[in-house]
């Protein structure tokens, strides 16, 4: 097992964690949350990758989040909603080591 971990460290790719923000147009809370997140992200040692999803473009997203935007997910996992909560992100400032498209552990 130790050998496998050593091998992963050498051949695995270190990638930024993905933050997905579910938003909608003309949403002041969404704009503020995104602005706050981007400001925080600039200060991170290892910034997050960002994907923004407009819930009005997808019926499933709309049904799930119409009353909760903005909604933040990291690597597909819910983190917070209604506003950017920096305290929920501070401990997530690290990268995932990926091997064969699977996140094995975080640096």
Q: Rounded distance, CA 105 to CA 43, Å?
A: 23
Is residue 5, in this structure, part of any structural domain at all? Answer: no
Q: Rounded distance, CA 32 to CA 81, Å?
A: 12
Q: Would you state the pLDDT for residue 47?
A: 85
Is residue 79, in this structure, part of any structural domain at all? Answer: yes
Is residue 41, in this structure, part of any structural domain at all? Answer: yes
Q: Rounded distance, CA 3 to CA 57, Å?
A: 46
DSSP sequence for 89-101 = HGGG-S-EEEETT
Is residue 8, in this structure, part of any structural domain at all? Answer: no
Q: Would you state the pLDDT for residue 99?
A: 53
Q: Would you state the pLDDT for residue 6?
A: 31
Range of the domain at 24: 14-106
Domains contained in the chain, number:
1
Q: Would you state the pLDDT for residue 96?
A: 52
Is residue 72, in this structure, part of any structural domain at all? Answer: yes
What is the mean pLDDT, run by run of 10 residues, along the chain of 107 residues? 32 68 97 96 86 97 97 94 92 56 51
Q: Would you state the pLDDT for residue 71?
A: 98
Is residue 9, in this structure, part of any structural domain at all? Answer: no
Q: What is the CATH number of the domain that holds 56?
A: 3.40.30.10
Is residue 2, in this structure, part of any structural domain at all? Answer: no
Is residue 92, in this structure, part of any structural domain at all? Answer: yes
């Amino acid at each position: 097992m130790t050998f496998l971990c050593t091998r992963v460290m050498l051949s695995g790719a270190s990638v930024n964690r993905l933050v997905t923000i579910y938003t909608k147009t003309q949403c002041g809370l969404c704009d503020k949350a995104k602005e706050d997140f981007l400001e925080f992200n600039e200060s991170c040692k290892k910034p997050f990758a960002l994907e923004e999803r407009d819930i009005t473009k997808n019926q499933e997203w709309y049904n799930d989040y119409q009353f909760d935007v903005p909604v933040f997910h990291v690597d597909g996992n819910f983190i917070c909603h209604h506003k950017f909560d920096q305290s929920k992100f501070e401990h997530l400032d690290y990268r995932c080591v990926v091997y064969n498209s699977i996140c094995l552990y975080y640096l």
